[in-house]
Amino acid sequence: AVTAVIVVAAGSGERLGYGMPKAQVPLGGETILMHALRGVVASDVARQVCIAVPKGDTALRALIAEFTVDLVDGGPEISVVDGGTSRADSVRAALAVLEDGTEFVLVHDAARALAPERIFERVSEALAAGAKAVIPTLPVVDTIKTVAETDGADASIAPEVVTGTAPREQLRAVQTPQGFELATLVRAHEAAGLFDEKQAAAVTDDAMLVELLGVPVHAVRGASQSLKITTPLDLIIAEGLLEGPLG
């Protein structure tokens, strides 16, 4: 089946505190984006790779151009689009330029720069086996609770109060690449285009849009190396992974 990979790299990276788009932040002597792209290409699942970069960016575009030149013959076709203000907007911008005949699409966060090849393969295999949507997940180690802002007199005690505890054995931490039948993901994003601002702000991955359509989302095992590099601590962990077992 013809598969495309969308790499979303249009975030600001504010939480990392480097004052540059996160995808451009150095990791193991390269950039976060280059690690992510090398993983995608090494997995050999994609005919086309479309990368969403921040609007107005030139540095990432230059890096991608260099990467494209170095690709051996028979590698995927690489394209670049301007991302949007939200992650979902960036995904929609990339969906709009996928080639005719594309059957499956994997959406991957550039921030998960060290996602192993086998996860791309595992997700692609589930699609080939008939899934319309598939996500890599890991069990959670922490107990997860829901909270609400405290109001009234209790506000002087603590800012939040617990409203519930989800049963941990049913919880999963969700990673990327998330894989979809292209037609299903397009339909899910069309529906999301009608969301109001509050609903749109609550969208944190693609699978949740597919869930809202009532289409089953299948879960395969993810990998701890696929951590999302978000904070300075994550960057230290990623550097450590490159020096150790992955280096």
Give me the residues that bind ligand C5P (CB under 6 A), please: 8-11, 22-23, 52, 83-87, 90, 109-111, 230
Whether the link from the prior residue into 76 is cis, omega within 30° of 0, is no
CB-wise, 11 or 177, nearer to ligand C5P?
11
CB-wise, 150 or 230, nearer to ligand C5P?
230
Shortest Cβ 218–ligand C5P spacing (Å): 22
CB-wise, 84 or 136, nearer to ligand C5P?
84
Shortest Cβ 52–ligand C5P spacing (Å): 5
Residue 136 amino acid letter:
P
Shortest Cβ 64–ligand C5P spacing (Å): 14
Shortest Cβ 14–ligand C5P spacing (Å): 9
Q: Which residues contact 86 (CB under 8 A, 6 or more apart)?
A: 200, 201, 203
Whether residue 18 contacts residue 220, with contact meaning beta carbons closer than 8 Å, is answered with no
DSSP letters, 183-202, are: HHHHHHHHHHTT--HHHHHT
CB-wise, 85 or 165, nearer to ligand C5P?
85
Please report which helix (H) or strand (E) contains residue 237, including its range: helix 232-243
CB-wise, 3 or 176, nearer to ligand C5P?
176
CA distance 77 to 68: 8
Shortest Cβ 189–ligand C5P spacing (Å): 14
Q: What is the CA radius of gyration of the chain?
A: 19
